[in-house]
Amino acid sequence: MSSTLLMERTGMGVQGVPGLGTPTVGGPVGGPVGTNWLMVPRCTFKVEKCSGGVKITCHADDKVACSMVQNLCSMLAGGMCSCCVMYNGVTMCYYNFSQGLCKFDCTEQGVCFTCTSGDQQCCQMIQSCCEAISCCLEAGCTCCFLVNNTPVCCGYSETCKSSPKATTKK
């Protein structure tokens, strides 16, 4: 399946923060026994502000990947939603959407995630996260969307995939 990514789960989180990265104590090292790999659907992301929060659309080109994203979201619904933004495999920022009401809606080619809040300050925090994620994605970063610290889909910005790089005149 060409529309998936192979990822190591132990390296998904923030380095140096217990529970969000590589295990801090024990565990087998190297070899197939010591790794925890999973296949994650590859998607394109569209991140935008909406009334009261943020709207993130995960779009999968492949029907199997689309079905996998939708099934993962339905199985993990109600859990903590977060985004891990990476550049060359290094975590640039990690956002937890804990300050709002999060929900998933299945679309024809993936999932639409919304996180909204009626509280003005929480809404500002959510929308600031939206701006930062959008900026990173447009600069070429990769985003991994997680529910309960389980990666649901990973990929690039929709604008990076479809628009050519701007060239400057000398």
Is residue 58 assigned to a domain? Answer: yes
Ranking 5-14, 34-43, 56-65 by mean pLDDT, the lowest is 5-14
Query: Which DSSP category does 166 fall into?
Result: P
Q: What percent of the chain has pLDDT over 90?
A: 45
Is residue 108 assigned to a domain? Answer: yes
**What pTM, to 2 d.p., does this model score?**
0.71
pLDDT band at 89 (very low <50, low <70, confident <90, very high): confident
With 50 as the cut, is the pLDDT of residue 158 above it?
A: yes
Is residue 69 assigned to a domain? Answer: yes
With 50 as the cut, is the pLDDT of residue 15 above it?
A: no
Q: How many CB atoms lie within 10 A of CB 10?
A: 14
pLDDT band at 39 (very low <50, low <70, confident <90, very high): confident
Burial label for 79, CB within 10 Å (0-12, 13-18, 19+), is: middle
Is residue 144 assigned to a domain? Answer: yes
Task: Select from 114, 144, 146 the least CA-distant residue to 127.
Answer: 114
Is residue 11 assigned to a domain? Answer: no
Euclidean distance between CA atoms 105 and 91, whole angstroms: 27
| Domain that residue 114 falls in | 45-155
Q: What is the dihedral of CA 128, 74, 86, 102, to 10 degrees?
A: 10
Q: How many domains does the chain have?
A: 1
With 50 as the cut, is the pLDDT of residue 75 above it?
A: yes
pLDDT band at 32 (very low <50, low <70, confident <90, very high): low
Is residue 14 assigned to a domain? Answer: no
